[in-house]
Chain A
Amino acid sequence: GQQVMQIPQYQHVQEGEDFTTYCNSSTTLSNIQWYKQRPGGHPVFLIQLVKSGEVKKQKRLTFQFGEAKKNSSLHITATQTTDVGTYFCAGRNNQFYFGTGTSLTVIP
């Protein structure tokens, strides 16, 4: 069946270091969305990518959709303590399949 995997599952970084999470699907996706969930909170939409090879930036965050539309990445430059949380990708192929998430801890 459809699976969306994310790596790594956990990541601890020093404040100021970069962070990347990778999302891989077993099948081609029509689009991919990224969400952030703070501890104890609910997922909040960050961005949607639709086109093959698409790259979008939001301040220190860079999102990329693979050429084959089966993988995606989120890169955060110079992490801050406010970046703490779990980052989920959600791939669309008839229904939304959420990835397993990457939990980011930023050490001040």
Chain B
Amino acid sequence: NAGVMQNPRHLVRRRGQEARLRCSPMKGHSHVYWYRQLPEEGLKFMVYLQKENIIDESGMPKERFSAEFPKEGPSILRIQQVVRGDSAAYFCASSPISQGEQYFGPGTRLTVT
């Protein structure tokens, strides 16, 4: 059973471009979480999705950020018009149930130049 997959592992974008981060949960997992981690800091919750539904997006900035988890395919975290402050590691985690243990992907390291 493959673990949580994230791609790309590293992403470099210029200010103003769009960043698309993909997350494929573990097989059988329908709950997906996105977190942001700045260097030397903890994980900050961004959004919690179940198939085709956003359950909780209270941690996500109101502008420029969006997330989806379509019926088919990976979950996508989209950042429009990136700024330098968006540079961080973005981790996706999946879980088989809503309060279960979370399995993290390797993360996408976004650098905005």
Contact = CB atoms under 8 A, between A and B. Distances in A.
Interface residues of B, number: 22
B102 A96 contact: yes
Contacts of B93: 43
Given A45-B101, A95-B58, A100-B41, 7 more contacts: A33-B101, A88-B42, A94-B56, A95-B56, A95-B59, A98-B45, A101-B42
Contacts of B35: 98
A48 B58 contact: no
Given A31-B99, A95-B48, A42 B106 contact: yes
Interface of A: 30-31, 33, 35, 41-45, 48, 88, 90, 92, 94-101
Given A42-B106, A42-B107, A98 B101 contact: no
Interface of B: 33, 35, 41-45, 48, 56, 58-59, 91, 93, 99-107
- Name the residue in B43, B44, B105 with the highest tally of chain A Cβ atoms < 10 Å from its Cβ: B43
22 contacts: A42-B91, A42-B105, A42-B107, A45-B102, A45-B104, A48-B100, A48-B101, A88-B42, A88-B43, A92-B99, A94-B56, A95-B48, A95-B56, A95-B59, A96-B33, A96-B102, A97-B45, A98-B35, A98-B43, A98-B44, A100-B42, A101-B42
